[in-house]
Structure 1
Amino acid sequence: MAINDSDKDEDEDENEVSELLELLEKFSFENSSLKKTVKALTKENASLKNELECSSNKTLEDKTISLEKENEILKVEIDALKKPFSKFSNSSEKLDKLLGLQRCVFNKAGLGYDEMNNVKHCQKYLEKKDKQKISSNMTCNYCNRHGHTIHTCYRKKNDMHKRNLLLKNKLLKLRTIWVPKGTFVTNPPGPKATWVPKAST
């Protein structure tokens, strides 16, 4: 029995060894194929890196060339615009000089008056005019308030606005009829022709 057991063990060992050898052959074949693919991929990676470097260098060169061209165009435009702007700045300086050389309207020196003793300056004259405009003596004939006139009355403007809104929305109806000229007397002279007293009840 012991011999049979040992034979069985040897057969099992041989089977296991043969299975292991088959697995070893499979894995060695897979390993060799993977090594080949790794070599191919490394070659492809190197070629792609070279292409990328070349393309990046080309794009950078193209960008620098385009930016240099744009820079030159802008320099030409700036040079062309410097002349008109210099004319504008010169003319503004000349205008400032002319305005500085003007004398006041009320300066009558040289016309037989004393130099500047009795001269009223422009600003004081304009201030007096402004003060006269805002006098409180003005009264409105529409609302009877002081400080404004009927032309600037805000109450009148509001009332007119409300009336126009009512007319537009047809809430306030005005009855208008056409009457031929001369048939309707608007202001008859004298008192009413017929007068009837109230009836007492």
Structure 2
Amino acid sequence: MPSIWSPESDTHITAQYSQKTLDQKVRNKSALQKECGWPVEAKRAMVCLPLGMTEALGGQVFRSMLPGLFTQSMELLILGKGSKEYGTLFTELQKEHGHRIAILPASEASVHKILAASDIALFLANVESSPEVRACLSYGVIPVAPECDTLENYDPVQERGTGFLYAPAKNPEQTAWSAFAALARALETFKFPFDWKTIQRQCMESTK
């Protein structure tokens, strides 16, 4: 993935947008919801796994999070790359929960569409200096990720931050609890459009 992409000039997406025209971003979500055969619901959070999944990318943590994920009002986009084991898991999940889980081909066009449409990016392994995180920030996709120097944990009092961060534990199940709590915090904040757009703009500004 290139280190910097720009939604202002991206020709792969339905609607180009910038910090000043963030309201246009939702058109990309609507287009992808239609493509997936889902209801067009701007207020339903769209979460993505922009790296696919392997053991090294937090596969065990993801498995531990699954029961909690299905209790949340959200859609999940998965980039179809990673290990065969998780490809099989995702295919089974899509069959069972096709109304809110979609696997997109591991192509450049898919990555563009995922970033333009998504509200939240879920990272379950170290993302320090990750070009994928930088791309998410550029597109106003707010990371839920392990604590790192690259991102600033959102502070609702100061109304500042570029992600919802959590502290990893040695045990995958404990890490899953922390990651799920951070995701739940992000999903709750998403319900407040003004606050959410403030974070998105800070994310986009941080890559300039």
Normalising by the smaller structure, the TM-score range is under 0.3
- Name whichever structure is richer in helix by fraction: 1
Larger Rg: 1
Judging by fraction of residues, say which structure has more strand: 2
Q: Relative contact order (alpha carbons < 8 A, sep ≥ 6): 1 or 2 greater?
A: 2
TM-score of the superposition, structure 1-length normalised? 0.12
